[in-house]
Structure 1
């Protein structure tokens, strides 16, 4: 029998504290939780801040033997320590071998691909569920499409075809950890053309890329007229900055489920920048150019030095946890039906909202643990409806609407 039910690794970091606080406030009595990281004094300070008497486990992320002991001591391990390509491999490897369920917040394609290659079959053998991307990346995307598909199946309305998630409302801080992960991945693909090709592939996280259908070019940086996504949308939509990762997670879910969404399922992610027919195209194209300029700037040493002086540093968080986000999924089916889903939370997407999603993912595994096999999975394939219900119980709205779909709320487009 393991010593702990949940271990939060990186619990003294900004997001780690928020996750630990969520668990302290929402865990059932008797659940055995521990805090882990490399600094005992910082972890003790977190205990005092939260008013809990949880055990402390000290282990440096680079010490394979130490993190293996942490993995063996718990049923579920949650880690907030990134960039994951730099710090995460010993821990995820150890969990796969130990049969320990693992959750993280990565948005790094190359790390997730390496984890799939190294750990999927190992975790299937041990029963470990390795679940990457359990925060704002990529739970709204993955669960949004999941609930749409459930509604379509319940109505017998065919399979999904053109599907898009549109971020229709967003307010929140930019994570220093996210920026650092982007830097690390850009450095890697600059040195290694093979990894550049992996990162660019729309099916880079698929279990069998050769088995994926040929659906033509699928761009993550295009601007699109709103009415081409759904009749209710106005203006021009901009690329969403995490589309290049989230879309690959959703496609992996479809493939892991035997293409349950359909072999003609096309998925993209966009962002509303207003409904004005004159202004929104300008803003949308500005977002597209600006993101390209940021990526190019971070790849060149002189411009990176300048950019790094203004971007948030790793471990830095916002001065306020206030924020909100609304992600609306618009789907068409093979029968010609239109379905929508909404995923909305009244909390900062990268911090408070992510802490709720990661904390509830851990509780879903530790308390509910849906039936299923081990492996390197996705939030939808590992947790599915169990996580949907848990998130609804926290006040996050997850709703659907279709020709005959039961719904709690009709999604309405909001200006960003």
Structure 2
């Protein structure tokens, strides 16, 4: 049954689900978790029932003490990530569970399944193909039956990609300009970096792929997160993160563009959205992600150097001697930049497309704050608030293992704009 079919199960009536909390924040004592808790203490409307959860009561109490009077009475819940009984009980207490506890392949499976079983909406920060694939296989039909919206990847991976393409689609559709064809994400500018948790997720996925040909084939498939690979259109080779000349994306772009490190994950999320929406973006929709390296005559050399560097990092993490060295240099889970550095961070993403009518459009996703930390905390927090408080604005797709665009959609765009994020689309 297609998600666009009117018989597709809708979310259960929220009023019929009596829960203790509107939202539980799991991992609130971690670096990113504490940032999310801080954002919620500032942004959640008065009366929103929020609880903080994690392994250590003392650490959770310490975090709560930094959040001000708004959070002074937020309950503390203690649960281990591998205690399925405790996680089942936790999931049954809330309308929405938000978790920053990764790597998700290690620590996220039981919680996602508990939420799918309990009919509880769920959001996380995963950028792990294997975890997201396993979650879809195990939880999608279950979540459809309970009405739970299991929404992975609600941070810098992959909200700018997924919501940016969704905003582009809505504008093209409203203008009657056909469907999307060649579509390219360009990270136009950025200050900040990836979190230690993201790096740790890379390590975990590399370990899971080692000696496992099936896992490797899943990670490398461009449609590895699609609901049904057999019905995906045959569009030839999908180069998720190419080195390309800017003018081939749009005539206004100068220089060459380099591969973007998260493209292999983000692109699969965007393709899952298109499939879940019944190929609303288009049957010939092709998607890739790159980053700007300037427009000087040296840009092709810089782009090539970045591509080589990314390959070297991944190869280094897969080889024990070099991995030992990289582990000393790369950020570690639980670590992050100063508050001042986070405030100074920012990013701008421009997504270009050509439509089937030959028109050119671009969407923009622009945000203040370090992408992997402060900005991610806002995106994750607003995703959870949209699910908890904006039920009437959510897409009619119902429950399942969804994406930011298909699970939250316009409700998230509205909340992000209210939080100062630019989400726009226009003809160019």
Matched, 1:28 2:45: yes
Matched, 1:378 2:403: yes
Q: Deviations over 1:80-122 (max 9, x none)?
A: 0000001000100100000000000000000000000000000
Aligned partner of 1:300 in structure 2 is 319
Aligned partner of 1:254 in structure 2 is 274
Is the contact between residue 183 and residue 354 of structure 2 (CA under 8 Å) also seen in structure 1?
Answer: yes
The partner residue of 1:339 within 337, 346, 361 is 361
TM-score normalised by length of structure 1:
0.96
Q: Deviations over 1:50-75 (max 9, x none)?
A: 12220010000011111111111100
List structure 1 runs of 4+ shifted beyond 3 angstroms: none
Matched, 1:196 2:213: no
The partner residue of 2:390 within 355, 368, 391 is 368
123-132 or 320-329: bigger deviation? 320-329
Is the contact between residue 186 and residue 290 of structure 2 (CA under 8 Å) also seen in structure 1?
Answer: yes
Aligned partner of 2:336 in structure 1 is 317
Matched, 1:55 2:75: yes
Aligned partner of 2:138 in structure 1 is 118
Aligned positions, number? 402
101-110 or 62-71: bigger deviation? 62-71
Is the contact between residue 11 and residue 37 of structure 1 (CA under 8 Å) also seen in structure 2?
Answer: yes
The partner residue of 2:190 within 170, 185, 189 is 170
Q: CA deviation at 1:174?
A: 2.6
Task: Write the mapping of 1:9-408 to structure 2, written as runs, cut at 5 A.
Answer: 9-51=26-68, 52=71, 53-276=73-296, 278-319=297-338, 320-321=341-342, 322-369=344-391, 370-372=394-396, 373-402=398-427
CA RMSD of aligned residues (A): 0.8
Is the contact between residue 187 and residue 349 of structure 2 (CA under 8 Å) also seen in structure 1?
Answer: yes
- Distance in 2 of aligned mates of 1:383 and 1:123: 15
Report SS of the residue matched to 1:398: strand
Change (3 A) 1:69 1:228: same
Report SS of the residue matched to 2:329: coil
Is the contact between residue 173 and residue 317 of structure 1 (CA under 8 Å) also seen in structure 2?
Answer: no
211-220 or 113-122: bigger deviation? 211-220
- Distance in 1 of aligned mates of 2:240 and 2:148: 32
Report SS of the residue matched to 1:22: helix
Report SS of the residue matched to 1:309: helix
Q: CA deviation at 1:313?
A: 1.2
Unmatched 5+ residue regions in structure 2?
1-17
126-135 or 18-27: bigger deviation? 18-27
- Distance in 1 of aligned mates of 2:177 and 2:193: 39
Q: CA deviation at 1:297?
A: 0.7
Q: CA deviation at 1:220?
A: 2.6
TM-score normalised by length of structure 2:
0.93
- Distance in 2 of aligned mates of 1:174 and 1:126: 35
- Distance in 2 of aligned mates of 1:49 and 1:150: 40
- Distance in 2 of aligned mates of 1:199 and 1:25: 38
Q: CA deviation at 1:47?
A: 1.1
Q: CA deviation at 1:371?
A: 4.7
- Distance in 2 of aligned mates of 1:61 and 1:301: 28
